[in-house]
A and B are shown apart, each in its own frame.
Chain A
């Protein structure tokens, strides 16, 4: 069983050190696990939804009780991530300006017909100026929260921010796994950081492992992450969990159990067992 580190009101350097510290165990080999996981998910008959993530693992299917609609609250993270990307690339000099530019660019893409119906850009392009301004300031607030959490100015060489999320399309299935990533250590192997509102729930550990698993099997980074760090800035709490062979297997079981909660009726499965 891996160690869970809990930090209260940590200094930014403590979070960055945790992200960048060498792993406690050998990084997990995920190729075989991804195959077995995919087989289990394909064998799980599910109606909806087709996307599973850490939030579903922690809180169950409740989030799908009401249809998703865009709001400033929902838009702040994608826009804030885009603003950080602009800042890092040097195309913007300060965050609020970067957030405004990100909003404008997102609208512009939609107006040129490059966004699907229901996309953030489509919603923003149709919204009044006040709503776009609200989204910009909320996105900047979110991005400032991330920058302050890790003191990005001081640790820019050790961390990457504005990183894209991890996705894993299950081959032969209708399921997509989504893993959130808000920052990563800049080294070849290291940790990933994920921010969340509120305070950690009782299944926060499982949620972190799911984010780590998806990042590991998505193949979107040169190496699988060795550690997942979850930050709840509202609560001043940071949790860190190691990703090793045991914990990624546990994460895979959580994902399968989560998928099974959407099954209308129990169905027998002849799929491989994860704890092989």
Chain B
């Protein structure tokens, strides 16, 4: 398996997309085997769970971030909106105001929008400064994405396995490339406002597994970008990575059932 940590001066998108001629052929036989492995593993552990009984999210397999409180949640949500605006080619005059407007209009994070509205002036100013710093890193590390790469933002995954008794959840911040060709070309990017840790790589493996189960073909590469310091990690997706991800899901099921 190839894993590369990208220095802040390297081109992230170039590392993620790679050279077209060197991309591997799509292995469409993997998804069925992984799904059968998951189904069998769940059956061995919990038999036949009721539909939707067990929900496995990325944080269950890769660990939860250290709680930074509401401010960290708000920062993450606002930077996620900035990523969407960046992909749309929109450069807000004020990153914080632009992201706050987008968050309020997103229709998904009403609780966070309410939290943002309740911040006092001092907390708001501090958050605005943090968001501006993260926005600068984001724009610097992620060049404008051409439309021909079919960028998709905030794609949610909700993959039922074991007859729907277990549902795997995850969200991919940015997806590039079209599935369905003879060579793998789909790339997934996870943007985080915290410093990269081991859990981020495990989270990437989980997202690669979800994308494989959902589309029937494995993505080409997965990457994580930290807007805290501009560090990034890029990994090729292969059978070993996906097998590790399956193993991690089954261990998470063990833990969730034991609770």
Q: Which residues of A contact B (CB under 8 A)?
A: 8-12, 71-74, 94-97, 100, 127-131, 133-138, 140-141, 144-145, 148, 151, 154, 197-199, 202, 232-237
Flag if A96 contacts B151 (CB, 8 Å): yes
Which chain B residues (1-37) contact chain A, with CB distance < 8 Å? 28, 31, 35
Report Cα–Cα, A5/B135, bound state, in Å: 46
Flag if A127 contacts B105 (CB, 8 Å): yes
Most-contacted residue by chain B among A72, A154, A198, A202 (CB, 10 A): A72
Flag if A97 contacts B147 (CB, 8 Å): yes
- Tell yes or no: B178 within 8 A of A by CB: yes
The minimal Cβ–Cβ distance linking A118 to chain B, given in whole angstroms, is 16
Flag if A94 contacts B148 (CB, 8 Å): yes
- Tell yes or no: B213 within 8 A of A by CB: yes
Given contacts A9-B215, A130-B85, A140-B151, 8 further A-B pairs with CB under 8 A are A9-B213, A100-B88, A130-B98, A134-B90, A134-B106, A140-B152, A154-B180, A235-B157
Chain A residues whose CB sits within 8 angstroms of the CB of B28 once the complex forms = 11
Flag if B180 contacts A134 (CB, 8 Å): no
A98 (CB) vs chain B CBs: closest residue = B147
The minimal Cβ–Cβ distance linking A87 to chain B, given in whole angstroms, is 11
The one of A137, A151, A154, A197 in contact with B87, judged by C-beta atoms closer than 8 angstroms, is A137
Flag if A72 contacts B216 (CB, 8 Å): no
Report Cα–Cα, A12/B84, bound state, in Å: 27
Q: A144-B152, A233-B214, A235-B214 given as contacts; is B84 within 8 A of A131 (CB)?
A: no
Flag if A134 contacts B179 (CB, 8 Å): no
Q: A130-B92, A144-B152 given as contacts; is B107 within 8 A of A73 (CB)?
A: yes
- Tell yes or no: B156 within 8 A of A by CB: yes
Flag if B164 contacts A199 (CB, 8 Å): yes
Flag if B180 contacts A148 (CB, 8 Å): yes
Report Cα–Cα, A110/B187, bound state, in Å: 38
Flag if A141 contacts B153 (CB, 8 Å): yes
Chain A residues whose CB sits within 8 angstroms of the CB of B102 once the complex forms = 72, 130-131, 133-134
A7 (CB) vs chain B CBs: closest residue = B216
Interface string of B85-115 (1 = CB under 8 A from A): 1011110100000110110011110000000
Report Cα–Cα, A148/B105, bound state, in Å: 27
Flag if B107 contacts A235 (CB, 8 Å): no
Q: A96-B147, A130-B85, A133-B88 given as contacts; is B156 within 8 A of A197 (CB)?
A: yes
Q: A9-B31, A127-B105 given as contacts; is B88 within 8 A of A236 (CB)?
A: no
The tally of CB-CB contacts under 8 A between chains A and B is 120
13 pairs of residues in contact across A and B, judged by CB atoms under 8 Å: A9-B214, A10-B216, A11-B28, A73-B107, A97-B147, A131-B101, A134-B84, A151-B180, A198-B158, A199-B159, A199-B160, A199-B167, A234-B158
Flag if B85 contacts A94 (CB, 8 Å): no
Number of interface residues of B (CB under 8 A): 42
Report Cα–Cα, A140/B155, bound state, in Å: 12
Which secondary structure characterizes the binding site on chain A?
A: helix
Flag if A141 contacts B90 (CB, 8 Å): no
Flag if A95 contacts B214 (CB, 8 Å): no
- Tell yes or no: B47 within 8 A of A by CB: no
Chain A residues whose CB sits within 8 angstroms of the CB of B216 once the complex forms = 9-11, 236
Flag if A235 contacts B158 (CB, 8 Å): yes
The one of A95, A127, A129, A199 in contact with B90, judged by C-beta atoms closer than 8 angstroms, is A129
Chain A residues whose CB sits within 8 angstroms of the CB of B89 once the complex forms = 96, 133
A137 (CB) vs chain B CBs: closest residue = B88
Report Cα–Cα, A181/B147, bound state, in Å: 26
The minimal Cβ–Cβ distance linking B138 to chain A, given in whole angstroms, is 15
A124 (CB) vs chain B CBs: closest residue = B105
Report Cα–Cα, A74/B105, bound state, in Å: 10
The minimal Cβ–Cβ distance linking A129 to chain B, given in whole angstroms, is 6
The minimal Cβ–Cβ distance linking A258 to chain B, given in whole angstroms, is 22
- Tell yes or no: B76 within 8 A of A by CB: no
- Tell yes or no: B70 within 8 A of A by CB: no
Flag if B179 contacts A148 (CB, 8 Å): yes
Q: A233-B214, A234-B157, A235-B159 given as contacts; is B90 within 8 A of A133 (CB)?
A: yes
The minimal Cβ–Cβ distance linking A157 to chain B, given in whole angstroms, is 17
The minimal Cβ–Cβ distance linking A70 to chain B, given in whole angstroms, is 8
Report Cα–Cα, A151/B150, bound state, in Å: 13
Report Cα–Cα, A264/B150, bound state, in Å: 49
Flag if B85 contacts A133 (CB, 8 Å): yes
- Tell yes or no: B81 within 8 A of A by CB: yes
Report Cα–Cα, A8/B216, bound state, in Å: 8
Flag if A71 contacts B147 (CB, 8 Å): no
Chain A residues whose CB sits within 8 angstroms of the CB of B106 once the complex forms = 71-73, 134
A14 (CB) vs chain B CBs: closest residue = B216
Interface string of B123-140 (1 = CB under 8 A from A): 000000000000000000
